[in-house]
Structure 1
Amino acid sequence: MLLKTLGKALGFLVLSVASVVLAAMLVGMFAPAWASRDGQPWPVMTVGALLILGVTALCLRLERRGWATAGLRPGWAWLRQLAIGLCSGAALVGGLAWLLMLGGVLYWQPNRPFTMALMLSGTTYFVFAVLVEELVFRGYALRRLAEGIGKTKAIVVMAALFGGYHVLSIGSSLSVKSGGSELVWTAVGPLVGAIVFGVAALRTGGIALPLGLHLGWNWMQWQFFTFPGDDNPIGLWNPIVTAHYADNPAVFRLGYLVAMTVALLVVLAITRKKQGLRAPTLRVASL
């Protein structure tokens, strides 16, 4: 039974990787030139998200399961959780930026070259890139693993895979290609976030809350914390780090860990009320 469950999760992950590769090939062959003029690969992410939804549907059909068993339960409750997540993720980044400003770590200047076209393409990219990641790492595979090895272990395993995925996807960028602590943080940072998102996914039974948290965080991070050496174009504001902290990333990493701790507490607070409404006979294991 355990091997069968693990095989389902692994098969889904393999098909998801193949979906992204296929999406890149299709976009490369058929997408018009204007689709990538702003440097944001939103067409690949859009097609990839649709293909992974198809993979999810195929896996569920083979098992004769409903969409809810993959964390996809459309409805008002789903939209409410998504909205709460969006607001919480954006507020966490905004609060972190405010505290760093008060601490004299950095300040911001308007990014005048930023255009509405880049805003639209960038927002589209983040929406579908985050959807791809949540479908892959907090959807079908996470729930099949939870059935086989338990919720806590499933969250840890998928978080480790999420960290490894970020090493593969951005580990060769200018900021981390020299290796060392930068490369390690490329994996550790997303791993910590993935634990928060995984807890949110399993405690709510859906991907709406982690999807909102993830998207709100990434979109606001793009606006306030994108530096010239990063993969994405700078957002609305150009961050200027003061001289004392220019070569000291520790304060940013500590701030991130504090923000993610607050995010976890928010998730636990939101889901505690929901779980408290369940019948006393249905005890939910704490993650």
Structure 2
Amino acid sequence: MRPLPLLVLFILGLILTGALRWATRSFESMAALSGIPTPLYVALTVFVMIRLVRSPIGWGGIGFHIPFAPLRHLALGIAGAGVAMLAGELLTPVWEALFGAGRDLSRFDESVTTLPRLLILLAFSWTFAACGEELAFRGVLMRGLGTALGGDRKVLLFAWLLQAVVFGFVHLYQGPAGVAGATVSGLVFGGVVWIASGSLWPAIFAHGLSNTFGILSIYQW
């Protein structure tokens, strides 16, 4: 399959996993399917990534052609995390006013009641969330789509906006405020990737750091 149709199917698959995750939390009759969305999302991402890497897009087309520069990438990651968290703080009252409630983070309430659970959640956050989501949304989707469509400025802008919207929808289980907040985060992390000349590493650091602060803020110290 050519890269562009493959990426369209990838986008539809991500939307499906987001809808399924929301449904399993919203309807008791769907609760038995709660174990499906995450494995489906991981399998879909790995499959599409492998197909893209084996296509003319290659590793470089999804963000792994830039040499790792620890200090520069970490600095960009810290800056990106700061922007994401500041945006979250400033916009949270706006989302609450618009939607009548903030982000629904009840999914994580029981995950941070003890120190071992906190450490497990942090490990999950850095692997599946920071690394996995940056690979899926900013690497495979944004970089892959931008490369597949030719890579001019209008295409890159479209890919940047689209990945943020899809990223927001995948967080539908957090309610409307969660969708809006995740969309803004997607814009920030996508911007970090472009500032870093297409490298995913700074966005991974930014995502992981912002998630870490968020998790620590709800830990029952």
Bigger Rg, structure 1 or 2: 1
Aligned length: 175
TM-score for both structures, normalised by structure 2: 0.62
TM-score for both structures, normalised by structure 1: 0.49
Go from structure 1 to structure 2 and tell me whether the alpha carbon gap of 1:95 and 1:139 turns closer, same or farther (over 3 Å shift): closer
Q: Give a deviation string over 1:178-221, Cα, whole Å, max 9, x none.
A: xxxxx2x2222111121111122233212111111111111101
Go from structure 1 to structure 2 and tell me whether the alpha carbon gap of 1:75 and 1:119 turns closer, same or farther (over 3 Å shift): farther
Structure of higher RCO (CA pairs closer than 8 Å, 6+ residues apart): 2
Go from structure 1 to structure 2 and tell me whether the alpha carbon gap of 1:82 and 1:153 turns closer, same or farther (over 3 Å shift): same
Give me the whole-angstrom Cα distance separating, in 1, the residues matched to 2:156 and 2:137.
Answer: 13
Give me the whole-angstrom Cα distance separating, in 1, the residues matched to 2:131 and 2:77.
Answer: 13
AA matched with 2:75? I
Indicate the SS of the match to 1:76. Answer: coil
90-99 vs 113-122, which moves further? 90-99
Give me the whole-angstrom Cα distance separating, in 1, the residues matched to 2:123 and 2:12.
Answer: 25
Within 5 A, what are the aligned runs for 1:115-130? 115-127=114-126, 128-130=128-130
Give me the whole-angstrom Cα distance separating, in 2, the residues matched to 1:118 and 1:163.
Answer: 26
Runs of 5+ consecutive residues of structure 1 not aligned to the other structure? 21-40, 100-112, 172-182, 227-234, 238-287
Higher helix share: 2
Give the equivalent residue in structure 2 for 1:150: 155
Give the equivalent residue in structure 2 for 1:138: 138
Give the equivalent residue in structure 1 for 2:178: 186
1:146 CA drift (Å): 2.1
Identity of aligned residues (%): 22
Runs of 5+ consecutive residues of structure 2 not aligned to the other structure? 19-34, 91-111
- RMSD across aligned C-alpha pairs, in angstroms? 3.8
Go from structure 1 to structure 2 and tell me whether the alpha carbon gap of 1:16 and 1:163 turns closer, same or farther (over 3 Å shift): closer
Q: Give a deviation string over 1:73-97, Cα, whole Å, max 9, x none.
A: 47532x4455224433565688899
AA matched with 1:84? A
